[in-house]
Amino acid sequence: MNKIFEKGGKLYWLHSTIDAFETFLAVPGTVAKKGAHVRDAVDLKRIMIIAVISAVPAAIFGMWNVGFQHSLATGIDLNVWQEFWYGFWKVLPLFVVSYVVGLFIEFASSQIRGEEVNEGYLVSGFFIPLIVPVDVPLWMLAVAVAFAVIFGKEVFGGTGMNIWNPALLTRAFLFFSYPSKMSGSETWIHLGGAETVDGFSGATPLALTAENGFDGLVNATVQYGTDFWTMFWGGIPGSVGETSVIAILLGAAILLWTGVASWKIMVSEVVGLLCVAGLANLTGLSDIPCWYQLVMGGFAFGAVFMATDPVTSAQTETGKWIYGFFVGAMCAVIRLFNPGYAEGMMLAILLGNTFAPLIDYCVTSAHTRKRNKIAKA
């Protein structure tokens, strides 16, 4: 690195930024100074880029779906490419705002701490546009990103030290600060001022069930399909990247093959959700078949990409089972028993993040007790 960027140099204030770009272009020639003289080729950049790649199918589908929903809602005939192109230009600004605001804060904080820039925000910054409605005003997004990165991450010491998932914290901030832009039936489909078709509804399937139960969903006269398989492939309104379970499963396959995310968390989330929603079916508390909960709303996206964040999820293997089950179960509980708001995944994961250290504490304490018992025997 050029001397002027080193400590004492004129441009030292740019040190972390320059270093970030330099190490982005080439793995640096730094050597192990002590300890093991050889190191594994993997670094956080590699792990983070895999997480980003795994979300690419959901992002591409999400862009297309923005155009597709626009076309359905307005009756304007568009082919597949036009739909994608339309959505691309609507979603791109979300990515730009997310990355510019988030990375600026990340670079500045790294410089203040005198550290290298952590790659964690590359992932958060990619996930944020996928979990917000396409019509969210950009300035709101900017404020929310700034809040989440500063108060959710940097004050704790940066990536690796945070308690809550920064992407979800962005969404939570938007949700509680600007609820009218984050829920209801006017935010999910970008109309662009065009006239809507007859029988138009901007409500998501999840919102339909929240209003009128399962009948509300199957008997709905909306411009998109509300059957299980349509929700599975994803041609429904919702946050940009959350609608297609197929695209999310593709991402899950990448995450599980590479081991970046924990299969234990994913499996136990599904089990947790099905347990509570199934129980509600059996007791007659809810008439929505429990498997519908898997494909509606943000459950799939949250279960695969958000709850499996290695920093904010449970650390221990036993803890992961408990944590995943807790998140899945809480998601169902909030969806079924919260009258005000249809979706439960965001709050379920943030709650899970909050309790993850406690879960790990219990697991490690039990382990210590067991060991002490063996030691005494």
Partner 1 sequence: MSKTIVLKKGLDLPITGCAEKRLSKTLLSEVTAVQPGDFKGLLPRLLVKEGDKVLAGSAVLSDKKNPDILVTSPVSGTVKEIVRGEKRKLLAVLIQTDPDQQYADFGAKSVAALSAEDVKSALLASGLWPWLVQRPYGILADPAATPKAIFVSAFNSTPGAADADFAFAGEIAAIQTGIDALAKIAEVHVSFNAKTYDASPLVKLNATKHFFEGKCPAGNVGVQISHISPIKKDETVWTISLQGLAAIGKLFLKGRYDVRRLVAVSGPMAIQPAYVSALPGTPMTELKAFYSTNEDIVRVVSGDVLTGKAVGTEGYLGYFDNTVTLIKEGTEKEPFGWAMPLRLKQFSTDHTYFSWLMPWRKYDMDTNLHGGPRAFVMNDAYYAKVLPMDIYPLYLIKACLAGDIEKMEQFGIYEVLPEDLAVCEFVDPSKNYIQDIIAKGIDLMLKEMA
Binding site for partner 1 (CB under 8 A): 19, 23, 25-47, 49-50, 116, 118-120, 157-161, 257-260, 262, 310-311, 313-317, 320, 364, 367-368, 371, 374-375
Among residues 1 and 80, whose Cβ is nearest to partner 1?
Answer: 1
Within a 10 A sphere around the Cβ of 279, how many other Cβ atoms?
A: 15
Burial 320-356 (b: 16+ CB within 10 A, else e): bbbbbbbbbbbbbbbbbeeeebbbbbbbbbbbbbebb
CA 322 to chain centre: 20
Query: How far apart are the C-alpha atoms of 183 and 237, rounded to whole Å?
Result: 12
Amino acid at 11: L
Give the CA distances from residue 375 to residues 72, 371, 372, in Å, rounded to whole numbers and listed in that order.
68, 6, 5
Give the CA distances from residue 52 to residues 25, 55, 123, 127, in Å, rounded to whole numbers and listed in that order.
17, 5, 6, 8
Nearest to 277 by CA among 288, 264, 265: 288
Work out the angle between the directed axes of helices 120-127 and 44-74 (0-180°, nearest 10).
10
Within a 10 A sphere around the Cβ of 244, how many other Cβ atoms?
A: 26
- Residues making up the chain, counted from first to last: 377
Q: Strand, helix or coil at 363?
A: helix
Do residues 321 and 329 lie in contact, with contact meaning Cβ atoms separated by under 8 Å?
A: no
Do residues 98 and 125 lie in contact, with contact meaning Cβ atoms separated by under 8 Å?
A: yes
Among residues 231 and 322, whose Cβ is nearest to partner 1?
Answer: 322
Query: How far apart are the C-alpha atoms of 67 and 274, rounded to whole Å?
Result: 32
